[in-house]
Amino acid sequence: MRPETEALVVIDIQNDFCPGGALAVAGGDEIIAGVNALMKDFQVRVLTQDWHPADHSSFAANHPGAAPFSLAQMPYGPQVLWPAHCVQGTDGAAFHPGLATDPADLIIRKGFRSAIDSYSAFFENDRTTPTGLEGYLRSRGVSQLTLVGLATDFCVAYSAVDAARLGFGVTVLEGACRAIDLDGSLAAARQAMSGAGVTLA
């Protein structure tokens, strides 16, 4: 069993990110058994959940004429316009039924403000609006994080880089993640994580 100073953060293992979902990550469901096994090793376990209102500004459908996966300029910078996904209260937003959610000490919902997307478990995409996760982990005495989940090159990578920037020791278990790999995004994400001091294991 890992010491209480170490936490497992499980990123967005939701139906819409698994095969058959609205924004499916290839093989997204293949990591679930391994993640469930990992949870037994940690005393502090956090799950994150994408939780968008239907009118979310990151949905291509809310920008007439815009194609999914195109880029739009937002007040906080460039934003990928996604297919509608993880809409609050829908089956797509629910955790994958195979994921063990009972062990979670905390579930962080992100992306619930319609005007700003939130890839990271720590900050929205303006990089300044906090989710509250940092404060929770500090109050538990956590200093080391292990990240797993979906997708490696977006929500996992953003969370890992932010955690390192906040001073946590961070390891990403790549075998317990899967990537979208949009136009080379996986290579860029791996480079960003390594550059931030994240251990890729």
What gap in Å lies between CA 61 and CA 59, rounded to an integer? Answer: 5
The helix-helix angle for 185-195 and 157-165 (nearest 10°) equals 20
Q: Do residues 199 and 171 touch, judged by C-beta distance below 8 A?
A: yes
Catalytic one of 16, 50, 86, 110: 110
Catalytic one of 29, 155, 162, 177: 155
Helix extents (H) in the chain: 32-39, 133-139, 157-165, 185-195
- Residue 12 falls in the annotated catalytic set: yes
β-pairing, 77-80 vs 71-74, is antiparallel
- Residue 126 falls in the annotated catalytic set: no
- Give the number of other Cβ atoms within 10 Å of residue 18's Cβ: 26
Catalytic one of 12, 29, 50, 162: 12
- Residue 177 falls in the annotated catalytic set: no
Task: Supply the residues annotated as catalytic.
Answer: 12, 110, 155
